[in-house]
Amino acid sequence: MSDARPSPWPALEYESWSDTLATLHLWTQIVGKVRLERTPWRNHSWHVPLYVNTRGLTTSPIPADGRSFQMDFDFHHHRLMILCSDGDEAEIDLAPRSVADFYREVMSELKALGLETRIHTVPSEIVDGIRFEEDETHASYDAESVHRFGHALASMDAVLKRFQARFTGKVSPVHFFWGSFDLAVTRFSGRPAPEHPAGIPAMPDWVAREAYSHEVSSVGFWPGGDVFPTPFFYSYAYPSPEGFSAASIGPEGAVWSDEMGEWILPYEAIRSAPDPDAALLTFAQDSYAAAADLAEWDRGSLEWPGGAEGPARP
């Protein structure tokens, strides 16, 4: 890893770290599924995601028979830490190694700490995924690329939390879904939504339908994949109101994708903007406002326009 401090919005070319991204995605699924198995179910699967912290990603505390533990991906020192409330801990190296090898060591360390956990080892939201214990295919880890990714997540997280603070209605945490491997925050109108069609690979239909049981406007970031090999920010509404695709959305570079049914903005457009934070806030606010207006949300009772940057709320 370079000693130079990366830019808050570093370069994230998909092609330069696609193999590492695929491996890291599966590692986060292993850790995320430990949290899933041990955490009480929450609406919209809010007990499932990871969260951005100062070093990378964390599960946050997980209950465990009178104590708690958390699992932290440290993208600075390239290790997975398992930290227990009673002072016990374990450390697992993040380095070029197969998913199967990583899975075996995670399970072994959890057992040694008295935290043995059985998880469903088929990857979620991946077509024809290889079971973790059998996956010798994905074994890449480029530390510098992951370090940059961690810095980018920290910058996005800070901006999305500012956007989150402008809403007084029901709103999700800013969280990282390890199934789809994206960072997102979601606002709710408070009204029920039509039944979602579901059909997401390796995800029970009832999970998707519960997640979209109410009207939403969601904005987030996805680092790219084989089908769309470009990192981008996205914004969608469910159900998508008529006219949403023709709305005026800033900043420059935002386009509607018929294929994805959402607005997308390349990461590079944010990174190269004179004020990347302001550009991302504009994209989030414009796309939300268009969806909310077209769907006739009660914006007056749901918003606090100044958010944390405005005057104190009475």
pTM (two decimals): 0.95
In the structure, what pLDDT confidence band is assigned to residue 87 with cuts at 50, 70 and 90?
very high
Residue 258 in any domain: the answer is yes
In the structure, what pLDDT confidence band is assigned to residue 11 with cuts at 50, 70 and 90?
very high
300 and 164 in one domain?
yes
- pLDDT tens profile 182-230: 999 999 999 999 999 999 999 999 999 999 999 999 999 999 998 899 9
Residue 66 has pLDDT above 60, yes or no: yes
Residue 2 has pLDDT above 50, yes or no: no
159 and 234 in one domain?
yes
59 and 114 in one domain?
yes
Residue 91 in any domain: the answer is yes
| pLDDT given at position 307 | 65
Cis status of the peptide bond prior to 63, with omega within 30 of 0: no
294 and 159 in one domain?
yes
Residue 6 in any domain: the answer is no
| pLDDT given at position 103 | 98
**Which of 109, 125, 141 corresponds to the end of one domain?**
141
How many domains are contained in the chain?
2
Considering the chain, what percentage of its residues have pLDDT values greater than 90? Answer: 93
Residue 175 in any domain: the answer is yes
| pLDDT given at position 109 | 98
- pLDDT tens profile 150-188: 999 999 999 999 999 999 999 999 999 999 999 999 999
Cα–Cα–Cα angle for 123, 129, 135, rounded to 5 degrees: 90
32 and 78 in one domain?
yes
Residue 263 in any domain: the answer is yes
DSSP reduced 3-state for 146? helix
**Which of 98, 116, 141 corresponds to the end of one domain?**
141
Residue 242 has pLDDT above 70, yes or no: yes
Report the alpha-carbon distance of residue 152 to residue 271 in Å, rounded: 10
222 and 123 in one domain?
no
Among 97-111, 273-287, 297-311, the range scoring the smallest mean pLDDT is: 297-311
Mean pLDDT of 296-311: 80
Backbone angles phi, psi at 91, to 5 degrees: -135, 135
Residue 5 in any domain: the answer is no
User: Nearest-CA neighbor of 69 among 111, 28, 105?
Assistant: 111
Residue 30 has pLDDT above 90, yes or no: yes
266 and 170 in one domain?
yes
**Which of 141, 161, 190 corresponds to the end of one domain?**
141
Cα–Cα–Cα angle for 151, 255, 300, rounded to 5 degrees: 85
- pLDDT tens profile 105-124: 999 999 999 999 999 999 99
Residue 314 has pLDDT above 80, yes or no: no
200 and 183 in one domain?
yes
Residue 7 in any domain: the answer is no
| pLDDT given at position 1 | 47
Q: Do 82 and 71 meet the contact criterion of CB atoms below 8 Å apart?
A: yes
The domain of 117 spans: 14-141
In the structure, what pLDDT confidence band is assigned to residue 305 with cuts at 50, 70 and 90?
confident
Residue 309 in any domain: the answer is no
In the structure, what pLDDT confidence band is assigned to residue 7 with cuts at 50, 70 and 90?
confident
Look over the chain and give the mean of its residue pLDDT values, rounded to a whole number.
95
